[in-house]
Structure 1
Amino acid sequence: MSTTRTRRRALLGTAVAAVIALGAAAPAAAAEPAETADPVQESLDALVGKELPGAWASVLDADGESRDYVAGVGDRKTGAEPPVNGYGRIGSATKTYVATVVLQLVGEGKVDLDAPIEDYLPKLVRGKGIDGRKITVRQLLQHTSGLPNYTGFITDYFEIRHTYMDPRQVLDLALSHKASFAPGTKWEYSNTNYILLGLLVQKVTGRPIGEQVTDRIIKPLGLKDTYWPGIGEQGIRSPHPEGYAYRKPGAPLVEFTEMDPSWGWAAGQMIATPSDVNRFYRALLDGKLLKPAQLAEMRRTVKDESIPFGWQFGLGLVKIKLSCGGHAWGHGGDIDGYETRDAATDDGRAATVMVNALPSTEAGAVKVNQALDTALCRS
């Protein structure tokens, strides 16, 4: 049975915080013993501020206990903190759900990992140096296809904030540019890969990708706080913190909660709470969604020095090295207004950290990653 405890932001004086950080200890007779600080709460408190207004997180222990945390501001107008276990846009974490559906179809004998995408979407993938007859399903899943990343060609997300974009529209945007490299020769992250995988699922099943994710993952796991927004659905279910974005580097944050996420589609459209994300990754690693052979394929990683933070990409799943030794598996996601970092370990731990703005500096990005590491290593 799972219980939930909420860890609200602790107010520590600067001097006290410094003592804790340095690991110093006062003489036993000098004062009453201080309450033990929570490392996860401290890590969230440390990352919020001008760049990242608010953070909320959920940690699932190996024994099944779930703990929720909040820090900072969830609504800059009212000053309210983020709601406990509030909804957030999970961006590219959507890719793990889509990859899971693709691998389920592999397990059902309906898709071949090493078949060219041409077999399923004939004559669709064509462009300068681009040929669907030479790009396999596996290469799409692991970002070794060489397909250009369509999001790199969207110059202003504020302009398309309320614009519906069809999957074929964003695919055409990508295919109007030349290939980044020959398939299978390098690694490069490209959202275009998952637009094609969404189209693949729809072609094979005859049903919408959002419906397939819902029927194959969300409903069987009872993830009541996870959903694929419908066409035209621009808001986020309550409770949720407001999202914020920068129009350009160095500009002030502005509210960016409502938006049409269709441009993300199978590469990044989903919405969920941190605790539901934890439950998904825990179930995935526990073998509740994939057969052993397909889960093993998912965990086969590409090693490439260009991948940030020392991560290793599998098939819609990322291997993340932990400071406490070993590794975890997750994905994470960035979308205007929200960032998610998530992972689960083979021994049953899981954690998800969300913030209500994208980091504008490398230091900010590192702090969010460190908060996830703390949640998995020190909670």
Structure 2
Amino acid sequence: MGEWLRRRRVAAVVAVGVLAVGVAAQPAAFAAGRPDAVQRGLDGLVREGGVPGALATVTDGEGRTRTYTAGVGDRATGAAVPRDGQVRIGSNTKVFTAVVLLQLVGEGRLGLDDRVEDHLPGVVRGEGFDGRSVTVRQLLQHTSGIPDYEAEVGEAIEQGRYMEPREVLEIAFRHPATSRDGKTFGYSNTNYVLAGLIVERVARRPLAEEIDRRVVKRLGLRHTYFPAPRDRAIREAHPQAYHQDVVGGPWRRVTEIDPSAAWAAGQMVSTNSDMNRFFTALLEGRLLRVEEQRAMQTTVPIGDSGAGYGLGLMRRPLSCGGVYWGHGGDITGFETRGGVGPDGRAVSVAVTTDPADYAVTERLEGLVDRVLCR
């Protein structure tokens, strides 16, 4: 989810050998000089970062795309990383959930300043938080103060245990509010589980169906889906996923997990090219009305990082000036980062582990910055 199953705070939210390296052939005019930099970045993630495999897709402002791989797709066999293979996208799922909810707002079926209680009566009660005072907007912007549950469900995910939304809510609600002013950013996957339940209550259809109908099919994201209950496999070509409990520890293969605990906050599967298409369409205004688009990109500060969080969308500063918009996600076995820069260039990068070493995450985010800064 995102930064899902990672022991991080504000900095994290903002933020084997080389085998089987591949680059898709594209016109020479595309991004002159940068392909090598992207490949070097992936190679560094494998060599110095120690990740088993890495994948990236870069799409320029005219829609031309290059794909890259490094490392191995299977540590046991040495098989290549599938070019543009499917990965679990973790908290990027939040953006899909937010888009659907904002579409319902645009249709007049609920309001951003509705109280959670209006749609989920009696559900949200805890020490320092209450659905009668928390708004839908605060859920999407992580300013509700509602505590997170992620630190307590990692074992269930790896064991393949299916978890209903009500189970993760029960875990979260045992803890006190993280803030009580309704304005302070505090990343919590619980917010998006509640947002997903509101979508289902208002639309009267399962969240997965609404995401598929309103976003996936609408944009032609052919390799993107919301796994069905108890669906532990990844459907199409994909690299194997791995986990280390500590840096330098033994690798465990965790490709087949039950992501249900992540649900509306982090359950989806996609490819880097589909993610570029999704974020590009969103930032071009092809999924939301102007009013909801403006609300989505109205941010609150993420600590003193210089980044901001909107309604399911992050604004991050670029080292070369300006900002880019995206999200990112971590879930057992995968970490993803990416977004769209000011000139319309999009990049998505994934590694086949949820790194125990935050330096790997910094490398990954640095690569995104370099690509978008040309």
Is the structural similarity TM-score above 0.5? yes
Distance 1:93 1:304 in 2: 17
Which residue number corresponds to residue 350 of structure 1? 346
Task: Work out whether 1:200 is the aligned partner of 2:214.
Answer: no
Residues 202-242 of structure 1 show CA distances to partners (whole Å, capped at 9, x for unaligned) of: 00011000110000000011110100000111000221000
Structure number with bigger Rg: 1
Distance 2:210 2:241 in 1: 28
**Matches for 1:161-172 after TM superposition, within 5 Å:** 161-172=159-170
Task: Work out whether 1:178 is the aligned partner of 2:176.
Answer: yes
Shift of 1:65: 0.2
State the superposition RMSD in angstroms: 1.8
Distance 2:285 2:342 in 1: 11
From 210, 216, 219, give the equivalent of 1:218: 216
**Secondary structure, counterpart of 1:94 in structure 2:** helix
Distance 1:183 1:53 in 2: 43
**Matches for 1:324-335 after TM superposition, within 5 Å:** 324-335=320-331
Shift of 1:189: 0.4
**Matches for 1:11-160 after TM superposition, within 5 Å:** 38-49=36-47, 51-154=50-153, 156-157=154-155, 160=158
Structure 2 counterpart of 1:239, which letter? Answer: A
Does the 8 Å CA contact 2:61/2:343 hold for their aligned counterparts? yes
Distance 1:207 1:158 in 2: 27
**Secondary structure, counterpart of 1:231 in structure 2:** coil
**Secondary structure, counterpart of 1:193 in structure 2:** helix
Structure 2 residues without counterparts, runs of 5 or longer: 1-19, 24-32
**Secondary structure, counterpart of 2:301 in structure 1:** coil
Which residue number corresponds to residue 189 of structure 1? 187
Shift of 1:248: 4.5
**Secondary structure, counterpart of 1:79 in structure 2:** coil
Distance 1:220 1:372 in 2: 27
Shift of 1:359: 1.8
Shift of 1:305: 2.1
Residue 176 to residue 249, structure 1, CA distance change in 2 (3 Å) = farther
Please, what TM-score do these two structures have when normalized by structure 1?
0.87
**Secondary structure, counterpart of 1:247 in structure 2:** coil
Distance 1:295 1:320 in 2: 17
Does the 8 Å CA contact 1:7/1:67 hold for their aligned counterparts? no
Which residue number corresponds to residue 362 of structure 2? 366
**Secondary structure, counterpart of 1:38 in structure 2:** helix
Please, what TM-score do these two structures have when normalized by structure 2?
0.88
Distance 1:153 1:88 in 2: 23
Shift of 1:8: 2.2
Residues 335-359 of structure 1 show CA distances to partners (whole Å, capped at 9, x for unaligned) of: 0100110101243211100000012
Distance 1:79 1:327 in 2: 38
Which residue number corresponds to residue 281 of structure 2? 283
**Secondary structure, counterpart of 1:226 in structure 2:** coil
Could you list the structure 1 runs, at least 4 aligned residues long, displaced by more than 2 angstroms after superposition: 6-9, 156-161, 247-251
Distance 1:76 1:250 in 2: 15
Structure 2 counterpart of 1:8, which letter? Answer: G
Shift of 1:160: 4.8
Percentage of pairs with the same residue: 48
Which moved further from structure 2: 360-369 or 267-276? 360-369
Structure 2 counterpart of 1:335, which letter? Answer: I
**Matches for 1:246-325 after TM superposition, within 5 Å:** 246-248=244-246, 250-305=248-303, 310-325=306-321
Which moved further from structure 2: 63-72 or 181-190? 181-190
Distance 1:375 1:74 in 2: 23
Shift of 1:172: 1.1
Distance 1:304 1:61 in 2: 28
Distance 2:170 2:35 in 1: 52
**Secondary structure, counterpart of 2:228 in structure 1:** coil
Shift of 1:159: 6.6
Structure 1 residues without counterparts, runs of 5 or longer: 1-5, 10-34
Structure 1 counterpart of 2:188, which letter? Answer: S
Distance 1:209 1:249 in 2: 37
Which moved further from structure 2: 219-228 or 44-53? 44-53
Which residue number corresponds to residue 20 of structure 1? none
Structure 1 counterpart of 2:268, which letter? Answer: M
Paired positions, count: 345
